[in-house]
Amino acid sequence: MTATRAEVCAVACAEAFRGDGEILAAGIGGAVTVLGARLARLTFEPDLITHDGVCLLTGDVPPLGETPREVEGWLPFRDHLWLVLNGRRHVMLGASQMDRHGSSNISCIGDWARPKAQLLGARGAPGNTHCNTTSYWIPRHSPRVFVDRVDMVSGLGWDRGAHEIRVVVTDLAVLDFATPDRGMRLRSVHPGVTVDEVVDRTGFDLVIEGEVPESRQPTEEELRIIREVLDPGGLRDREVRT
């Protein structure tokens, strides 16, 4: 079976949770992030804890948009904060802007005193990035997102005290910070994408080491799970357009 770009992205998001074990996998940056966390749990990370997006810990792994049939527990806000403060959570966020060290902005575009556009506000990004492992899902890789300097720091980067920023998955590539100064590195490009395309659509210089590999394709079993179990309605294709 041939995978779509959205399915490659979903697998890349799932791979972000590899090795996490028994922690709360919180995909809150879009449908693809939730799909990635649930795919990881159903394949190579069965001990991951997943939730319904609100306060129920799920015993089963329901399709996107459906309520769980099995509930393992209730996660009230006080317990949610305990997980955050104690680093028992890996969150996959979105970002409107991001710099080369992973500082992210979801608050405003322009001067914060008189912004051109008001966005979500910092919300939980400071605590998430300071206390938890954090990854990102960016469905539109562009120089408007990947900027030399964010207009406001909502989420901490490696140079500002982040706990761990593991990977950034976009519709073009997978990026990480495995460099001496924790500058953003091009880890892999998705099938059909060139290195030059990623470079042209990034507003700062990426670290590129040798020949950049292609992102991992889904296995046949992963494709079956994505298409028949987790996302038969194709919500993933609304976030990734090629």
Mean pLDDT (whole number) for 84-98: 94
Cβ-contact 88, 47 below 8 angstroms: no
**Which residues, in sequence order, are CB contacts of 194 under 8 Å at separation 6+?**
none
Q: Which residue has the tokens 């709360």?
A: 24
Residue 29: its pLDDT value, please? 80
- Cα 100 to Cα 185: distance, rounded to the nearest angstrom: 9
Q: Find the range with the poorest average confidence among 92-96, 119-123, 221-225.
A: 119-123
| Confidence at 70, pLDDT banded by 50, 70, 90 | very high
Residue 209: its pLDDT value, please? 95
Per-residue pLDDT tens for 144-171?
999 999 999 999 999 999 999 999 999 9
Mean pLDDT (whole number) for 101-107: 97
Per-residue pLDDT tens for 207-224?
999 999 999 999 999 999
Residue 224: its pLDDT value, please? 98
pTM for this entry: 0.96
Mean pLDDT (whole number) for 89-93: 96
Cβ-contact 122, 154 below 8 angstroms: yes
How far is the first Cα of the chain from the last one, in angstroms, to the nearest whole number?
Answer: 18
